[in-house]
């Protein structure tokens, strides 16, 4: 399996066309496949994502159009087109002064990403009983309620990022990881809770 371990910087997305192109479960899955296992052909991507090779080729071309993937150096006789991710991590940050079209694209992409993240947790939970005991004990599905001010939350985010950085698949080569290391996932959301408006009492009618 060809690995792609180039150091890539994070990208803050602001182009609504690029965000709309990315807001597709199959395309997010393709990027995740390339991020985890390195360069691949459309056929190899299709097998993992669950689409036809022709559909995978279409999604890859759309991702390439907006700079998310690019051609990778050929392998073997070079007959098959190889793709690799062209950006490292990316982020989407809603801003108060976003034009309506930009904000709508950001909200749509965030929604699709959150849905895929929730699906990943669901798959993990369904499979947890089949995991070896050491992986069951190491897994955690936690929700915490914090009392912080904005500066504390920002510093907490920075500390979490520092803790995770050495273990990111972009940084850690498989041959340098301990025996038994597996691709795993951390999902972290830090946000101020929105006020819950009273629903009122249900009527008897």
**Each residue of 50-76: pLDDT tens digit?**
999 999 999 999 999 999 999 999 887
Q: Which residues pair with 83 in a beta bridge?
A: 40, 71
Q: Is the pLDDT of residue 6 over 60?
A: no
Q: What are the residues whose beta carbons fall under 8 Å from the beta carbon of 71, sequence distance 6 or more?
A: 64, 81, 82, 83, 84
Q: Is the pLDDT of residue 42 over 70?
A: yes
pLDDT score at 108: 96
What mean pLDDT is reported for the chain?
Answer: 89
Confidence of residue 204 (pLDDT cuts 50, 70, 90): low
Q: How far is CA 25 from the centre of its chain?
A: 11
In contact, 8 and 88? CB cutoff 8 Å: yes
Could you tell me what percent of the chain has a pLDDT over 90?
72
pLDDT score at 88: 67
**Each residue of 69-114: pLDDT tens digit?**
999 998 877 778 999 998 667 889 899 999 999 999 999 999 999 9
Burial of 53 (0-12, 13-18, 19+ CB in 10 A): middle
**Topology, domain 11-176:** Arc Repressor Mutant, subunit A (1.10.10)
Structure-model confidence comparison of residues 80 and 155, the more confident one: 155
Q: Which helix (H) or strand (E) holds 159?
A: helix 150-164
Q: Is the pLDDT of residue 48 over 90?
A: no
Confidence of residue 7 (pLDDT cuts 50, 70, 90): very low
Q: Is the pLDDT of residue 18 over 70?
A: yes
DSSP string, 31-51: HHHHHHH--B-HHHHHHHHTS
Q: How far apart are CA 113 and CA 126, in angstroms?
A: 20
Give the angle 22-103-186 at the CA atoms, nearest 5°. 55
Highest averaged pLDDT of the listed ranges 133-137, 173-177, 192-196: 133-137
For the segment 133-147, the average pLDDT, to the nearest whole number, is: 96
* 3 state DSSP class of 71: strand
């Amino acid at each position: 399996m060809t690995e792609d371990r180039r150091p890539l910087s994070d990208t803050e997305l602001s182009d609504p066309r690029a965000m709309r192109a990315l807001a597709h479960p199959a395309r997010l899955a393709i990027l995740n496949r390339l991020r985890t296992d390195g360069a691949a052909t459309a056929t190899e991507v299709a097998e993992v994502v669950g689409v036809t090779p022709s559909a995978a080729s279409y999604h890859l071309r759309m991702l390439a159009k907006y700079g998310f993937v690019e051609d990778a150096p050929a392998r073997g006789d070079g007959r098959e087109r190889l793709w690799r991710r062209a950006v490292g991590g990316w982020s989407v940050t809603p801003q108060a002064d976003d034009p309506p079209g930009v904000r709508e694209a950001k909200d749509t992409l965030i929604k699709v990403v959150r849905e895929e993240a929730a699906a990943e947790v669901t798959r993990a939970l369904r499979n947890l009983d089949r995991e070896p005991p050491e992986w069951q004990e190491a897994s955690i599905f936690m929700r915490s309620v914090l009392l912080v001010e904005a500066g504390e939350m920002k510093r907490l985010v920075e500390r979490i990022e520092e803790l995770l950085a050495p273990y990111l698949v972009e940084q850690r080569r498989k041959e340098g990881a301990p025996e038994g290391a597996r691709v795993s996932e951390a999902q972290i959301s830090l946000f101020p809770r929105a006020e819950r408006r009273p629903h009122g009492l249900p009527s008897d009618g």
